[in-house]
Structure 1
Amino acid sequence: MIHGPCGELNLNSPCMKDGKCTKRYPRELIHETQTGGDGYPLYKRRKPDEGGYITTLKMPNAVVDIDNGWIVPYSPLLSKTFDAHINVEYCNSVKSIKYICKYVNKGSDMAVFGLGNKTDEIEQFQMGRYISSNEAVWRIFSFSIYDQFPTVQHLAVHLENGQRVYFTEKNAEAKAEQPPHTTLTAFFELCSTDDFAKILLYPEVPKYYTWNTSQKKFMRSKNGAIVPEYLGVYSSHALGRVYTVHPNNAEFYYSRLLLHTIKGPTSFTALKTIDENECETYREACFRLGLLESDKRWNTTLTKASLTNYPKQIRTLFEIILTTCAPSNPRELWKTHRESLSEDILRQSRITDPNQECSDDIFNQALLLIEDICLSINNKVLSQLRMPALIRTKYNIYDSYLTREQLYDVQQL
């Protein structure tokens, strides 16, 4: 892995004289590696008098002195594995990556040119953007520079009374009494008054209606293809895209899922009404519509684990399922497997009371242990994971905090 300043070692290079490079080698000899904020670091290359290595390389026509400045960082393992010269450099700045991908990041071509006049005492320099002949002709003929097709209408999504409202001190009361419509509330109102809108999903509305920003309402499109059987309805190529919602924001996420499934809802209540039965949550409505996976596999997993694993291991598995796998009905999972999850707590209680059986107190202690681990995994209590509420006494809280603060290695400290 010996390279000269001009690439591979070449004694015939014009910069080589008597086996030595007459140009200043860019890789300087330094005692320690220097990592600046401007690209690649300067690697440690010690001088011979500071412990660096030096050797003499005999060539057919000359003898060359090789020191650390000639060595390129490389991995012997990679070179041996692939039988090739593979340089290893460490990028410590985005500038290095930009250099590699410069055609993506550099922007328009630039050119600096000067306007000189012999009568002027000061030269005038101006920086301008270079335009090729093809682009120049395109602009001369006034062709469009960019185009967007089809039109994309962003659609708001929020829970009831959860829309964003801007107000001042003067109009705060008026805004609170009658907040302005969003595209979602305007969609509910449209479905209440327009029969055609009742057969549409929320993302399909922009294809047949345009959003009037000033009036905050959907208006029927006046141009486009005629929709058969519906007088005065025209379809366009416009697309509707509902803003994304993270699954961790549970009810918010499930309401968005329903908007892509239920046609023509007239209100938030109608959105979660399935077969004329109003559900308590949007998640329950999604479950009734079959939009969520069943917990059959999680139920089978916990059943198999309870046959061979200790209760603590089963609780760990249950905690991972709760925090990372988003089960559809975690309460039912807990109800089915709570005895195996709290078996060790029951056994410990029977030391003092042999007649002790499973009770709410035993299950509560198991829930306390489960919640402590869930808090450490994703910082959520059981109520946020749709699990039964537990009773945490002051002693439990103190004991949990005390245990957490004592988790340190005395010998290491």
Structure 2
Amino acid sequence: MDVITKSHIYGETRCWIYSVEWQKRGLPHAHILIWLKDKIHPTEIDSVISAEIPNPDQDPGLFEIITKNMIHGPCGPLNPNSPCMKDRKCTKKYPREFIQERYFTADNAEERAANPPNTTLTAFFLLCQQDAFARTLLYPEVPKYYTWNTSRKVFCKRKQGAAVPGGDVRASDALGRVYTVHPNNDECYYLRLLLHTVRGPTSFTDLKTSLRNLWGSMSTAWSA
């Protein structure tokens, strides 16, 4: 943190916060959020963020650290016994196609808006449309009875756990957590409140429907 906050490698800092985490696949790492006195503009991002391999002659120590610890593989035909391999394929989908840059145009922005990605929330809506038991649940209660299939983007009934009387589902001790939202982000904040209150919603429209009225926003639906 001293390199960032005292040496000012990104510029003078106003404040900062960080959280250290321990995960299965590696040693402790930190999520760091900093506020700069002078904001960085999108055109300047490449000057402060990069994924380049350091020059081994100029910085041999950093070169060794990055090439040893921060590069995936080798896997595939070069190392079929790598832990990431399953059915002769890399489960992390390497090697990946190199992408020089990502950008939005008027055309692909419209396409992305018209075809938004499936999320756990939209999958919950679909589950409630198809599953009578799911319609009795609040969104945070779903992980207790269903598991998330990452590749298919759907919830599946648990196969292990205690049988639920009168249903064909099983219950576990799993807990669900919904992301916290600051009240200033009012629509997302009230969406979160509704997800903790409304059982079995089938869509965003359903969430905004109260007393047989469709309200114009999540906040007005909550107030109703």
Normalising by structure 2, we get a TM-score of 0.50
1:269 aligns with 2:218: no
Matched, 1:257 2:208: no
Q: Which of the numbers 159, 175, 180 marks the counterpart of 1:239? A: 175
- Match for residue 209 of structure 1? 146
In the other structure, the counterpart of 1:283 is: 219
1:218 has 2:152 as partner: no
SS in 1 for 2:155: strand
Between the aligned partners of 1:209 and 1:183, the Cα distance in structure 2 is 11
CA distance in 1, matches of 2:163, 2:217: 39
In the alignment, the residues of structure 2 paired with residue 168 and residue 210 of structure 1 have an alpha-carbon distance, to the nearest angstrom, of 34
1:116-155: CA deviations, max 9, x gaps?
Answer: xxxxxxxxxxxxxxxxxxxxxxxxxxxxxxxxxxxxxxxx
Change (3 A) 1:168 1:210: farther
1:248 deviation in Å? 0.9
User: 1:180–1:216: 8 Å Cα contact kept in structure 2?
Assistant: no
* Correspondence for 2:164: 227
Counterpart of 1:228 in structure 2: which amino acid? P
Residue from 165, 173, 195 that aligns with 2:132: 195
Deviations along 1:370-399, one digit per CA (max 9) or x if unpaired, are: xxxxxxxxxxxxxxxxxxxxxxxxxxxxxx
1:110-259 aligned at under 5 Å gives the runs: 172=108, 175-231=112-168, 233-259=169-195
Q: 1:272 to 1:177 in 2, by over 3 A?
A: closer
Q: Secondary structure, in 3 states, of the residue corresponding to 1:262?
A: coil
Q: What root-mean-square deviation, in Å, do the aligned CA atoms of Structure 1 and Structure 2 show?
A: 2.4
Q: What are the ranges of 5 or more consecutive residues in structure 1 without an aligned counterpart? A: 1-36, 38-106, 108-166, 289-413
In 2, Cα distance between equivalents of 1:241 and 1:189: 19
The CA deviation at 1:250 is 1.1
Question: Match of 1:242, SS?
Answer: coil
Match of residue 145 from structure 1: none
1:230-278 deviation digits (Å, cap 9, x = unpaired): 02x0001111000000011111111110000000000101001012111
Q: Which has the larger radius of gyration?
A: 1
Q: Distance in 2 between matches of 1:188 and 1:210?
A: 15
2:97 counterpart residue number: none
| Distance change in 2, residues 1:180/1:285 (3 Å) | same
Give the drift of 1:179: 2.7
Where does residue 308 of structure 1 map in the other structure? none
Change (3 A) 1:177 1:251: closer
What TM-score does the superposition give when structure 1 sets the normalisation length? 0.28
Query: One-letter code of the match for 2:129?
Result: S
Q: Distance in 2 between matches of 1:199 and 1:168?
A: 42
Q: Distance in 2 between matches of 1:239 and 1:175?
A: 32
Once the two structures are TM-superposed, the CA of residue 177 in structure 1 deviates from its matched residue by 4.1
Shift in Å, 1:180: 2.3
CA distance in 2, matches of 1:235, 1:190: 17
In structure 1, C-alpha distance between the alignment counterparts of 2:174 and 2:213, rounded to whole Å: 35
Structure 2 unmatched ranges of 5 or more: 1-5, 7-27, 29-101
Provide closer, same or farther for how the CA distance between residues 222 and 174 of structure 1 changes in structure 2, counting only shifts above 3 A: farther
Q: Which has the higher contact order (CA 8 A, sep 6+)?
A: 2
Give the letter aligned to residue 197 of structure 2: T
User: Which 4+ residue blocks in structure 1 deviate beyond 6 angstroms?
Assistant: none
- In proportion to residue count, which structure has more helix? 1
Distance 1:200 1:283 in 2: 22
2:185 corresponds to which letter in structure 1?
N
SS in 2 for 1:244: coil
Shift of 1:224: 0.4
Give the 5 Å matches for 1:353-392: none
Q: Deviations over 1:265-301 (max 9, x none)?
A: 001010010121111221122112xxxxxxxxxxxxx
Structure 2 vs 1, CA of residues 244 and 199 (structure 1 numbering), >3 Å: closer, same or farther?
same
The letter of the residue matching 1:179 is: P
Partner residue in 2 for 1:407: none
